[in-house]
Structure 1
Amino acid sequence: MNKKRVIIVGGGLAGLYTAFQLEQLNIPYVLFEAKDVFGGRIHSEKPKGNNDESLFHDLGPTWIFPHHYRMKALAANLEQNLFHQHIAGAVVYHEHRNIAPKIIKNGQGPLLHRLEGGLYKLILALQAKLSKRNYQLSCQVDSLIKVNDTWQVTVKNTKDASVVIHETDNLMLALPPRLIHEYLTPAHWASEALTKALVAVPTWMANQTKFIATYNKPFWRDNGLAGQAFSRVGPMIEIHDASATDQQGFALFGFIGLSSQDIKSFSIEHLKAQCINQLKSLFGEAAQHYEQCYLKSWGNDVHVATDKDRAEPPAHPDFYIKRFSQELSSLNLYLAGSEFSEEDAGYLEGAINAADTAISLLKKEVLFKSH
């Protein structure tokens, strides 16, 4: 068996950030990620035919709110630039299919920030800070068992189906609660109360579907529009300017108002065509002259959503982690996913906050055992 002082499960923002911090602290660890790329719910597409490695289009979270100081600090630490979400211009509102869309001046939303070039650049910057020997992609954790003071972690390589059992003193789970419940065998190690709490908390973004169309120029801005629209007609219910920078990588994105189950009844190409037609009706003929378009249904991603997530309407996560402090401490188990944060749960800021809290507890444990 292979033994590390810390095993991190999950290579989204929280897991990568945790690994980055442990590297700085010289605490031995290994990070396992089931997918063949890092990022988790931070998922971006690189424009086809574009050799610019600094442009990505976000199909997961994209905004950093003014009060998200941890995310701002992390971006600065990794030498990544922020810019303001484009909101200048009029907003379009489409109330009914038999009524023409309305143009509303001064209807813009709040001031938000985005990462220049797309949020996936932050993932790449974090990955570049890690020693390659300390992480493994395409490695899915299939079982957790606590034997005395040691965690036994069964890891399956998703490419060759090989299985290795790793051991660790301290286990860091950088995953949403329901994925922990679904895949990491809490029946072997969690109390009934903790098990019920894990399955009760919804996975943020799990039932969202996002569409992006890219353009060679921001025609909506030229027409005095913000690229922002709200619709009761659909398929998209909310649309925004999604340009990768303020002056480059122009795009529009929208949230599709259909459940993941409903989306399965459409072909992806048909749904994309519907979205382009909607952009045309809201922003004009130029919307049909797109370069590429992308669609991501998070509810149909088995590494994000569970059946319970797919069956429920979207809701904000609320996990009262302090209730389980004693149990988690006795297990040397740390919950670092965004849904476990006491502030901004589910958001990018929540991922950093939850990870910081878990790392702080881990440091106390490691220092205690060192003396």
Structure 2
Amino acid sequence: MKRCEVAIVGAGLAGLCAARALKSMGIDFLLLEARDRLGGRILTSDEHGMPTDDGFDLGPSWFWPMMQPDMADLVSELGLQSFSQNNNGDVIFERMSREGPQRYRPVEQQGKSLRLTGGSAALVRALERDIPADRIRLNTHVSAMALTGEGVEITLKTPDGMAAVVHASKVICALPPRLLEANVTFTPPQEQYTLARWRDTPTWMAPHAKFFAIYNRPFWRDDGLSGTAQSMVGPMVEMHDATLANGKAALFGFIGIGADQRAALGDEALKKACLAQFARIFGAGASEPRSTLLKDWAADPLTATSRDPLATGHLSAEDANSLSGLWGQRLFMAGSETSAIEAGFLAGAVAAAKRAVLAVVSPG
């Protein structure tokens, strides 16, 4: 049986931030991650879909320093570089299929969105450097937690398929509540109100899919277009310039049709429809990319549950960390969805991790 003061379940941004903070305080911890990589929904890939140190963000890609000071402080503290999302040029709006795309001069935005040089995975790489490798367990699936007289007994499946147990005084759950409710059995059981709240908290990105088309150059800029478009025609509902800081050109879009429809259509037909839409909006050159990428988060079992394809609307700002009963002094929520501010966003993960660590180290 492994023992530690604090077990952290989930090695996305929140889990990594929590681990780094505990390390700085000299508190022993284990970071347990079901995936074979760190980062969770932060996933930066090259044009062939392979993880890379400088690529395209298939998950979250933006932050807003004026509105998200915790995130801005973390980026500064880690010494990371950022650049502005390209918004120079006109935007396109597709209102209906029987009329062509309409072009508009955008209103100047307050609080410009930024992207990290190298992609959002730059956060993961920088945080990993501060976490001892022997405190990280990848390919480790947590299946159960049970209270004991001294803490929490955590049952998990290791990379070799064997069952193992970790005993921790306290646990930080740095993953979406809905995943926790769907995959982990608790003894004694969580209260029904808590389980219902977890089930009803939508997981950010879980119902969504992103499509990228990579080009030799950002040709749309030559036509005075920003790369930003909105559509009521589809299949994509929102599009943006995804060109990297190194100049590698790309467009990306959020796909608006539902997860079941995407699955029925198939990846190749969906990619073809997306390219046709890019060509319709940005010109014939958009139909001939050098490569394409499609990431459907609803098809990722470590992100989405059976409830997520039906999810609608935005996350509430409810603080979902507080647990009552016997679990209240042992289990602390740190997934971005549980943050009282910027829930679901990168900034929400940073804030939730700070709150959870503070609760863990506070007396009583």
When normalised by structure 2's length, the TM-score is 0.94
- 1:267-313 deviations in Å (ceiling 9; x for gaps): 21111111111111100111123122111111111111111222232
Identify, as 1 or 2, the structure richer in helix.
Answer: 1
TM-superposed CA distance for 1:106, in Å, is 2.5
Which ranges in structure 1 are unaligned for 5 or more consecutive residues?
A: none
1:9 maps to: 9
Alignment correspondent of 1:26: 26
- Give the letter aligned to residue 35 of structure 2: K
Aligned equivalents of 1:302 and 1:60: distance in 2? 15
Aligned CA-pair RMSD: 2.0
Going from structure 1 to structure 2, the CA distance change for 1:82 and 1:328 (only over 3 Å counts) comes to farther
Q: For each residue in 1:84-123, what CA deviation from the matched residue of structure 2 results, as whole angstroms up to 9, or x when unmatched?
A: 1100000011111221111112356552111112111111
Q: Deviations over 1:188-237 (max 9, x none)?
A: 34222212221121112211111111112111111110000011111101
CA contact (8 A) 2:47 2:293 kept: no
Paired letter, 2:253: G
CA contact (8 A) 1:88 1:108 kept: no
Corresponding residue for residue 350 of structure 1:
348
For 1:131-210, list aligned pairs within 5 A: 131-157=132-158, 159-186=159-186, 188-210=188-210
- Which residue identity does 1:344 align to in structure 2? E
- C-alpha distance in structure 2 between counterparts of 1:106 and 1:311, whole Å: 32
- Give the aligned partner of residue 259 of structure 1: 258
Q: Deviations over 1:304-339 (max 9, x none)?
A: 1111222232432444336x3554774321110011
CA contact (8 A) 2:85 2:114 kept: yes
Contact 2:213–2:289 (8 Å) recurs in 1 = yes
1:311 is matched by which residue type in structure 2? L
- The 3-state SS of whatever aligns with 2:264 is coil
Residue pair 1:230, 1:237 contacting (<8 A) in 2 also: yes
Residue aligning to 1:118: 119
Alpha-carbon distance, 1:54 to partner: 4.1
Whole-Å Cα distance in 2 between the matches of residues 109 and 265 of structure 1? 38
> Residue 129 of structure 1 corresponds to which residue in structure 2?
130
Confirm or deny that 1:281 pairs with 2:285.
no
Q: Distance in 2 between matches of 1:352 and 1:285?
A: 42
Partners in 1 of 2:344 and 2:77 — Cα distance? Answer: 22
Q: Distance in 2 between matches of 1:328 and 1:289?
A: 59
For the residue of structure 2 that corresponds to 1:264, the secondary structure is helix
Deviations for 1:216-264, whole angstroms, at most 9, x for unmatched residues?
A: 211111111000001111110100011221x512211100001111111
Aligned to 2:333: 335
Match of residue 299 from structure 2:
300
Q: Distance in 2 between matches of 1:275 and 1:136?
A: 38
Task: State the SS of the aligned residue for 2:355.
Answer: helix
Q: Provide the aligned length of Structure 1 versus Structure 2.
A: 362
Query: Quick one: percent identity of the two aligned structures?
Result: 33
User: What is the alpha-carbon distance in structure 1 between the residues aligned to residue 25 and residue 265 of structure 2?
Assistant: 49
Of the three residues 359, 364, 368, the one matched with 2:357 is: 359
Equivalents in 2 of 1:332, 1:319: separation in Å?
Answer: 21
Q: Taking structure 1 as reference, are residues 191 and 234 closer, same or farther at Cα in structure 2, changes over 3 Å only?
A: same
Aligned mates of 1:6, 1:50 — CA distance in 2: 33
